[in-house]
Amino acid sequence: MDKRFPLTTAFAEAIVTCEPLKNEAAVQAARTAIIDWLACAFGGAQDRTTRILLETLPAGSGNAVIIGQERRTDALTAALVNGHAGHVLDYDDVHSSVRGHPTTVVVPALLALASDIKISAERLIAGYIVGLETMARLGLSLGMKHYENGFHATATLGTIGAAAAVAHVLRYSLEETAVALGLAATHSSGLRLQFGHDAKPYHAGMAARAGLISARLAKAGLGGASDFLDNPIGFFSAFAFGEEHPRAAIESWGSPWQIVSPGLTLKAFPCCTASHPVAMIGLQLHQEGLRADTIDFVTFTFPPGGDAALVVTNPTAGIDARFSAEYVFAAALIDGALRIDHFGERPVREDVMAIARRIRRRHDETAPRLSNDPKTRFVIADVRLADGERLTRDFKGLPGLNDPTGKFRDATGDHPAVSAVPELVRTMLSEDDLYRFLNVLGQRLT
Amino acid sequence: MDKRFPLTTAFAEAIVTCEPLKNEAAVQAARTAIIDWLACAFGGAQDRTTRILLETLPAGSGNAVIIGQERRTDALTAALVNGHAGHVLDYDDVHSSVRGHPTTVVVPALLALASDIKISAERLIAGYIVGLETMARLGLSLGMKHYENGFHATATLGTIGAAAAVAHVLRYSLEETAVALGLAATHSSGLRLQFGHDAKPYHAGMAARAGLISARLAKAGLGGASDFLDNPIGFFSAFAFGEEHPRAAIESWGSPWQIVSPGLTLKAFPCCTASHPVAMIGLQLHQEGLRADTIDFVTFTFPPGGDAALVVTNPTAGIDARFSAEYVFAAALIDGALRIDHFGERPVREDVMAIARRIRRRHDETAPRLSNDPKTRFVIADVRLADGERLTRDFKGLPGLNDPTGKFRDATGDHPAVSAVPELVRTMLSEDDLYRFLNVLGQRLT
């Protein structure tokens, strides 16, 4: 261990020497999450914005698969496009320690890597678990102000997680790993001001690309700082706003693995995670038979910071409505379901907006501020009916999906060309398995 | 003007509607700075790290010129490689409002743009003045903590400056410009922890590339926030650490142009700007005939923050010695000159280090902290000789170069293939002029 930089060195050592494949629960969680993420990526492959990226970026020559597209490209471009496509519906998993979306950054970087260098499916899975662990531990070490002051952790931490995943898979030396992490930190960007815009999912692609190029440049000998966590004007000074807990980056690494506990939340609805509790209450009230036209007004009570991601109150189209607690609740209440077509390009429906406009938000200032601890998340809906009656419903934590097989089937229209994907992901082990898997991903479904 | 986002809208309006070509002093300063920057870029074209980038990035197909290389590539890769090459010797200009290096980000982005789209040489010059103005005004608006807490302003502001330059040249609409700026802000990255490493010049390339792709994506219709300066969790919240002066982004735009006043400092020495005052004192003492072996010890007194960029005290090779006040002073004193070969790959000379190790730094805590105001910069060297005698020399502000023609000649070895470049830059106006100029840049000199 480099005594001058104890924390960065210990962090790099954890990344390269850990053995996540020994933990069966972690491997199973990873396989499940990859199936879930592929549902999102196939669902986003033909999105208007994915097409814009493919038309605007240099064409790129190479063998890297673009999910749901027949053409191939260079690894960096593939990482970017797949990262974006996997996040564009905002339907992909989230992790509370990250306070963001780890899979849609780490997995695209590794798929792109696998297009250039032969690796086994098991090593890809190991790299994914390590990349997620890296993002989660860094998230815990940064504290809450990083996100609250405007950084999009999916992107800022994802860049570093993707680089860590590559370093693990390719068995980098400690020095190469530390330099790769520092290069990733110096690429680390992404602002929450883009929430509700096309640029938000682009952040995931940007991070996947940046993590991969960081790892490659470190291996190629571009020199960089190997002390990003120790340097007094390094990662924490720039990004933590004085709230850092540096030791949290390495404490309890892999014990348990963050993919196991607190674990990922696989999204049941294609909209911002923070809106899922109000979605659950809306669906519950629909099942109870509440008619929308009987509502006078609704008040949501969140913990402080509990609706920070829900930056939209008055959406104009389905896309920004993903970030509106009001729209999500109203649509769930009226339709009894939240589908991909609730959150597409089309303008919002007037019947949904009529209810959404009757909703106000408040915060319970006596409750603990929303933190990485999922237990701090709750919402209370106080519904006043036109006849004066009052209903109160609450939801604590986040709802999630255990088995994404149905989600994959729905997102791919049960297309026969990819119907084998969930089973392939559940069983793949070898280099050949991964090669077959990559070939299946590069198929156009429409 | 969009009333919801007054500051971002006014900023975008300044960028697209201003007319820098009407100011002859600004145009002349721009032409001079481009010659100076090309000296640096030709000097860095064959650097080990430039080769690493060319070998590690996807080859890229396109017509974009790589300075000092015969092969061409796509515009994004060219922007990156040329931005890096122009900064790798740390010999390129600096600007006090930016607190960094504007030209090596903005000009490579514009050269790359010109490889794809026909523009005139005059418009390129206008775009450069606007890109620099953007970086400088944003630097003034951010305050000092952005840099002090660890961000590398060349990169973080350069990304936005490059996007602004493209928006000006291609006459984007206000909305397209605002979105391009927001996309650039969300790409904005680069940490000072990389000072003294190969990654530092890479930052300039990263920013040039990011600014160009931001502008292109905005034009292609990727939606993004158009309120980066107004959003309460936007640019200032993430990057200013509470020290922002938002109005400074637009106040006095172009009056005077920042390229005229305070103006660029063209570097007389190929090492970190902050070391130039001690270099001047070292050269002066050499001229005075002071022999190095008569020195007992030397004390440098800086204003608080005056040596923040000089992160190296005990360099091992010329590359990190660029950031050592001690090495720079010692080499200037002993050799009476500071040449590119003082700051190359080779290990530092023992005779230079013998003097460097006799130097200590202190800060005058009663002096104003180093700020964007060049008048706050000074250094006092207190030299104690072995015989007990004491010499005191000081230097205020930064030394600079007025005419970079000799620097260009030295950096290119007076190679006939490019000897016409300074005159071309001084006179180019039309599309044809720019086309000829680009062709001359793509020539290998070794």
Chain A residues in contact with B182 (beta carbon < 8 A): 193-194, 199
Contact flag B222-A53 (C-beta cutoff 8 Å): yes
Chain B residues in contact with A56 (beta carbon < 8 A): 213, 216-217, 220, 222
Chain A residues in contact with B235 (beta carbon < 8 A): 191, 193
pLDDT, one tens digit for every residue, chain A (446 residues): 678 999 999 999 999 999 999 999 999 999 999 999 999 999 999 999 999 999 999 988 999 999 999 999 999 999 999 999 999 998 999 999 999 999 999 999 999 999 989 999 999 999 999 999 999 999 999 999 999 999 999 999 999 999 999 999 999 999 999 999 999 999 999 999 999 899 999 999 999 999 999 999 999 999 999 999 999 999 999 999 999 999 999 999 999 999 999 999 999 999 998 999 999 999 999 999 999 999 999 999 999 999 998 999 999 999 899 999 999 999 999 999 998 889 988 999 999 999 999 999 999 999 999 987 888 999 999 999 999 999 999 999 989 899 999 899 989 989 999 999 999 999 999 999 999 999 999 998 87
Contact flag B234-A49 (C-beta cutoff 8 Å): no
Angstroms from A53 CA to nearest CA on chain B: 8
Residue of B nearest to A309 (CA): B233
Contact flag A148-B59 (C-beta cutoff 8 Å): no
Contact flag A223-B198 (C-beta cutoff 8 Å): yes
CA distance A235 to A232: 8
The CATH code for residues B6-258+416-441 is 1.10.4100.10
Angstroms from B52 CA to nearest CA on chain A: 7
The CATH code for residues B273-396 is 3.30.1330.120
Q: What is the pLDDT of residue B341?
A: 83
Angstroms from B297 CA to nearest CA on chain A: 27
Contact flag A197-B224 (C-beta cutoff 8 Å): yes
Q: What are B9-53's pLDDT values in tens digits? A: 999 999 999 999 999 999 999 999 999 999 999 999 999 999 999
Domain with CATH 3.30.1330.120 in chain B: 273-396
Report pTM. 0.91
Q: What are B233-287's pLDDT values in tens digits? A: 999 999 999 999 999 999 999 999 999 999 999 999 999 889 999 999 999 999 9
Q: State the complex-level ipTM.
A: 0.91
Q: What are B206-221's pLDDT values in tens digits? A: 999 999 999 999 999 9
Contact flag B231-A193 (C-beta cutoff 8 Å): yes
Asked if B329 contacts B281 with a C-beta cutoff of 8 angstroms, the reply is: yes
Contact flag B238-A151 (C-beta cutoff 8 Å): yes
Angstroms from B239 CA to nearest CA on chain A: 8
Angstroms from A320 CA to nearest CA on chain B: 11
Q: What is the pLDDT of residue B41?
A: 98
Chain A residues in contact with B189 (beta carbon < 8 A): 186-189
B339 has pLDDT over 90: no
Angstroms from A60 CA to nearest CA on chain B: 6
Q: What is the pLDDT of residue B400?
A: 85
CA distance B123 to B113: 11
Q: What are B133-159's pLDDT values in tens digits? A: 999 999 999 999 999 999 999 999 999
Domain with CATH 1.10.4100.10 in chain A: 6-258+416-441
Contact flag B224-A77 (C-beta cutoff 8 Å): no
Chain A residues in contact with B234 (beta carbon < 8 A): 150, 191, 193
Contact flag A187-B183 (C-beta cutoff 8 Å): no
Q: What is the pLDDT of residue A345?
A: 84
B182 has pLDDT over 70: yes
> Across chain B, what does the average pLDDT equal?
96
B197: nearest CB among A150, A225, A241? A225
